[in-house]
């Protein structure tokens, strides 16, 4: 597998966090305030600017709410949020008694720890901030040690797959499959990034992303919806494809073990 420093992706977590800051999503505004107090800024000259956050805010809000909706609809009591970044979902759902595991890279998890503590005064009992690369099988399984056997797990992945090559996506899919084979449950992801959307990005934006991320993202997109469906089916999942809410372009997949 290609050697890649995934820490280059971590700053992208600020974009959805800033975008959600202007919504009524629980803890999103508090999260943005703490980030601003800590001096977090989105560079106007980089690919991940405040302008990007503003332009894509309806999409970020819709995908966040769509994932939360499925977690609630399924009645999940245990959640594994992969590449959680600055997502505030865990802070909300642990208040409702869920066991919530957030997995991300070490630096992101350390920062999340500080931010959650700044907002709530402590990390809630049911919230487990776990260092793991999602393509590392053992690290991911270790994060699952917080789950109770015999109860299904909702695995969520939001804003990650476009940064992963197909080889990395396949490894991630194998890891999630193993988690769901152990616990049962669902893999919920709105990361169905299609080439038609990438084609609309300006050449300048693509170049800025390439410079910041040290890799070009075009080859990581799915050819079309059918390609995405086949990728997950070949990875061992049954696919339920749901469109994002009206007015928002995109899809959410609810995946179960086939």
Ligand X SMILES: C[S@@+](CC[C@H](N)C(=O)[O-])C[C@H]1O[C@@H](n2cnc3c(N)ncnc32)[C@H](O)[C@@H]1O
In the complex, the residues that contact ligand X under the rule CB under 6 A are: 6, 9-10, 12-13, 16-17, 83-87, 104-105, 108, 133-135, 158-160, 163
Q: Measured from the CB of residue 15, what is the shortest distance to ligand X in angstroms? A: 6
Distance, in Å, from the CA atom of 16 to the CA atom of 36, rounded to the nearest integer, reads 14
Task: Give the nearer residue to ligand X in terms of CB position, either 7 or 151.
Answer: 7
Contacts 24+ apart (CB under 8 A), 29-36: 30/88, 30/119, 31/86, 31/88, 31/115, 31/119, 34/115, 34/118, 34/119, 35/86, 35/115
DSSP class of 244: P
Closest approach, Cβ 150 to ligand X, in A, equals: 27
Name which of 198 and 230 has its Cβ closer to ligand X: 198
Please give the backbone phi and psi of residue 64, each rounded to the nearest 5 degrees, phi first.
-60, -50
Nearer to ligand X, 110 or 148 (CB): 110
- Taking the complex as a whole, the smallest distance from the CB of residue 41 to ligand X amounts, in Å, to 16
Burial zone of 180 (CB within 10 Å; 0-12 exposed, 13-18 middle, 19+ buried):
buried
Taking the complex as a whole, the smallest distance from the CB of residue 134 to ligand X amounts, in Å, to 4
CB 180 within 8 A of CB 173: no
Residues in the chain: 258
Q: How far is the CB of 237 from ligand X (least distance, A)?
A: 20
Q: Name which of 141 and 230 has its Cβ closer to ligand X.
A: 141
78 or 157: CB nearest ligand X: 157
Task: Tell me which residue has its CB nearest to ligand X.
Answer: 85
């Amino acid at each position: 597998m290609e050697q890649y420093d995934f820490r280059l992706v971590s700053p992208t977590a600020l974009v959805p966090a800033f975008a959600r800051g202007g919504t009524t999503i629980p803890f999103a505004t508090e999260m943005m305030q703490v980030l601003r107090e800590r001096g977090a800024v989105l560079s106007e000259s980089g690919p991940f600017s405040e302008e990007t956050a503003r332009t894509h805010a309806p999409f970020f809000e819709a995908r966040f709410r769509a994932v939360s909706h499925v977690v609630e609809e399924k009645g999940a009591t245990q959640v594994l949020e992969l590449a959680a970044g600055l997502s505030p979902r865990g802070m909300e759902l642990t208040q409702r008694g869920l066991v919530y595991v957030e997995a991300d890279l070490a630096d992101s998890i350390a920062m999340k720890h500080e931010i959650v503590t700044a907002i709530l005064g402590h990390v809630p009992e049911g919230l487990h901030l776990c260092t793991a690369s999602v393509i590392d099988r053992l690290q991911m399984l270790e994060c699952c040690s917080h789950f109770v056997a015999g109860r299904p797990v909702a695995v969520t992945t939001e804003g990650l797959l476009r940064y992963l090559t197909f080889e990395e996506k396949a490894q991630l899919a194998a890891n999630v499959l193993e988690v769901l084979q152990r616990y049962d449950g669902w893999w919920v992801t709105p990361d169905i990034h299609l080439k038609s959307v990438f084609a609309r990005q300006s050449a300048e934006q693509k170049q800025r992303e390439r410079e910041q991320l040290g890799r070009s993202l075009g080859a990581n997109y799915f050819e079309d919806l059918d390609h995405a469906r086949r990728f997950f089916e070949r990875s061992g999942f049954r696919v339920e494809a749901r469109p994002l809410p009206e007015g928002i372009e995109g899809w959410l997949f609810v995946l179960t073990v086939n």
